[in-house]
Structure 1
């Protein structure tokens, strides 16, 4: 696996989102086995006087969901942001930008506009992106990682663990709005797209990705009160999000994504299970998997002694309460001393990264959970 480290650069992620808030920052590039060059941002220390020591700090890797990038962890002011709070509490913080997003557009041989560049789904994120970033951070720090995922980021790590990947490098897992199962989602937009095979139709007409131009168009639409696509129609009615934070969000998000991963998510919604990508052709599935149907990601394969912090909201349309219950049922044999389950009735999907009271309700309890592990 080829890797390359790049120090803080002019005008990039570090300059615009981290250094302007008084934190030290490093840009790192990680190359996956299938050639994607991922930007990973490191915040090695906090900005308070007592925080500014390098030492042997525990690394925490933050993984965003689909249609966003690593900046989703930095939308809130420093005193309210999870990434900055972790740094101020003595952790070595790493933020991933997944393939295809603004800071991770590179590839060793493919052009960003090449349809082959966008031939990936959840399976490639699980098989290539997560192992590459885990290995890189592990090699840089010589320590096991604490992982925090939001939305699709939770499914990525659970799917990887179900196939015995990454486990030896994990110290703990934080699952915010887990989407291991999506069959009960009440997201109107997701339901319409999935039930009417809209992504499949778009892909048939050679639309290989939700690209940066469509993302920009969606940002403009999202300013209209009647078309809050990133609010009630997609993710649920968020309780505590200021309009100023939404404005910051719309300066950067949504981000491009492969149409194939949208199709994969639609398959999971329609079927209510968690399997690898279905090519809807037994011969093609046999070619890829050696069997006529795609293999399942087995959630009961998660190690029973791995410390887990799981938090979900009652108003979340994507991470529906009934779907989270299915995940919790699969974790019933987990060591009760190693799992913390938190339910916040009034929180929806975006509240976990964009609400001003997320620190009080989620981040402080999560950091307390981490501190008990040391």
Structure 2
């Protein structure tokens, strides 16, 4: 579900949401959130939570936690403290796993356990923590606001970088006393880069792995992505999707390819399972912010498009830029990107790498997977051998 600033879902937002995250199909069956007392909302999936619906059924231990952000959002976080075989050392290194936009933590769990990154990490001796960003089905809660209140949806990915990530890092550090490995996909990489560029997370961070990193969107190549991004900067109309898909040469029946590039290695049954629970809800402001990233070609804070509004929020007529060269040069980073990715286009990833060119020797590891597109990093049947094995080696080599 895509929620506008007025609290209502908007079909028009569906197209671009799918473009920049992980929901490659037509948004359907949208309805206003059903709220219950205290501002909480009944989840659309199992009321027992993600642990019961996706993790313990495979024989893993799983614990549910809440992380409360400084602006009052209550985020659902799942912990897998050990592998399916159990036992092992209690002195395990924590790993924080962050999804992209229109997804939640279950996006990492649609494949079999031996193909799903969080469970692979747990089976290899890591203490795994799975996040669910504000507005998604298990994190549609706030200390004072109901999802039916427009103020609940007044945020973009700026707030995910400034508040959501630090809240989860604080929770993990509080429970474990250890520095944290981080792995993100798509928007999960964007918010990590933005947060690190402002000096956040560093004191609790062990290393960071970015899969299909999105920092620049100058070279989006799909017609659907380009048109959808431009449309979000203009008038949003209810028949946007129908009008968009009526354009000559656009095939809206295969959003996965149309938006993210020709994924090489997805299983049809896995994709079907994925689509049963997607898209997850996000805010209109978040989508507009993403479209601004396409238009402006760089990573900057939300642009209110009126100089006086920007001045009120930032003290300047233009929104501040996230200077990625400010990321501490000694932060251990692993980047994996694909040659067929239409969102994290190789040319744009090169722009990101240019901004990291002063990184300390030995602190930046880069993997290029020629045949991979955007979704292969999340659901590829061979991602375990091609990408996840490299993530494991990278984490195990950090001391």
Q: TM-score, normalised by structure 2?
A: 0.83
Asked whether the equivalents of residues 285 and 294 of structure 1 are also in contact (C-alpha less than 8 Å), the reply is yes
Structure 2 CA distance for aligned equivalents of residues 367 and 274 of structure 1: 29
Structure 1 CA distance for aligned equivalents of residues 261 and 361 of structure 2: 30
- Determine the structure 2 residue equivalent to 1:56: 91
Describe the SS at the equivalent of 1:149. Answer: strand
Q: What is the CA distance between 1:328 and its match in structure 2?
A: 0.5
Instruction: Specify which of 115, 122, 134 is matched with residue 99 of structure 1.
Output: 134
**Number of paired residues?**
343
Q: What is the CA distance between 1:135 and its match in structure 2?
A: 0.8
Instruction: Specify which of 45, 48, 53 is matched with residue 82 of structure 2.
Output: 45
Q: What is the CA distance between 1:133 and its match in structure 2?
A: 0.8
Higher relative contact order (CA 8 A, sep 6+): 2
Structure 2 CA distance for aligned equivalents of residues 107 and 188 of structure 1: 38
Structure 1: gaps of 5 or more residues: 1-8, 208-213, 215-224
Q: Does 1:86 align with 2:140?
A: no
- Determine the structure 2 residue equivalent to 1:218: none
Instruction: Specify which of 201, 204, 222 is matched with residue 235 of structure 2.
Output: 201
Map Cα deviations across residues 182-218 of structure 1 (whole Å, 9 max, x no partner).
11112333211112x336523xx7x9xxxxxx9xxxx
Asked whether the equivalents of residues 28 and 40 of structure 1 are also in contact (C-alpha less than 8 Å), the reply is yes
Asked whether the equivalents of residues 199 and 262 of structure 1 are also in contact (C-alpha less than 8 Å), the reply is no
Q: Does 1:29 align with 2:66?
A: yes
Describe the SS at the equivalent of 1:252. Answer: coil
- Determine the structure 2 residue equivalent to 1:302: 327
Asked whether the equivalents of residues 199 and 259 of structure 1 are also in contact (C-alpha less than 8 Å), the reply is no
Cα 1:312–1:150 shift into 2, 3 Å? same
Map Cα deviations across residues 285-319 of structure 1 (whole Å, 9 max, x no partner).
01100111000001001111111110000111110
Q: What is the CA distance between 1:66 and its match in structure 2?
A: 0.3
Asked whether the equivalents of residues 148 and 174 of structure 1 are also in contact (C-alpha less than 8 Å), the reply is yes
Instruction: Specify which of 128, 150, 160 is matched with residue 125 of structure 1.
Output: 160
Structure 2 CA distance for aligned equivalents of residues 18 and 187 of structure 1: 35
Map Cα deviations across residues 237-292 of structure 1 (whole Å, 9 max, x no partner).
11010101001101211111101011001001011111000001111101100111
Describe the SS at the equivalent of 1:232. Answer: helix
Describe the SS at the equivalent of 1:173. Answer: strand
Instruction: Specify which of 354, 357, 364 is matched with residue 389 of structure 2.
Output: 364
Instruction: Specify which of 223, 230, 233 is matched with residue 258 of structure 2.
Output: 233
Q: TM-score, normalised by structure 1?
A: 0.89
Asked whether the equivalents of residues 99 and 131 of structure 2 are also in contact (C-alpha less than 8 Å), the reply is yes
Q: What is the CA distance between 1:10 and its match in structure 2?
A: 6.6
Instruction: Specify which of 199, 219, 226 is matched with residue 164 of structure 1.
Output: 199
Structure 1 CA distance for aligned equivalents of residues 279 and 75 of structure 2: 18
Map Cα deviations across residues 77-130 of structure 1 (whole Å, 9 max, x no partner).
111111001001110000000000010011111111222111100111111111
Cα 1:200–1:56 shift into 2, 3 Å? farther
Instruction: Specify which of 348, 354, 362 is matched with residue 337 of structure 1.
Output: 362
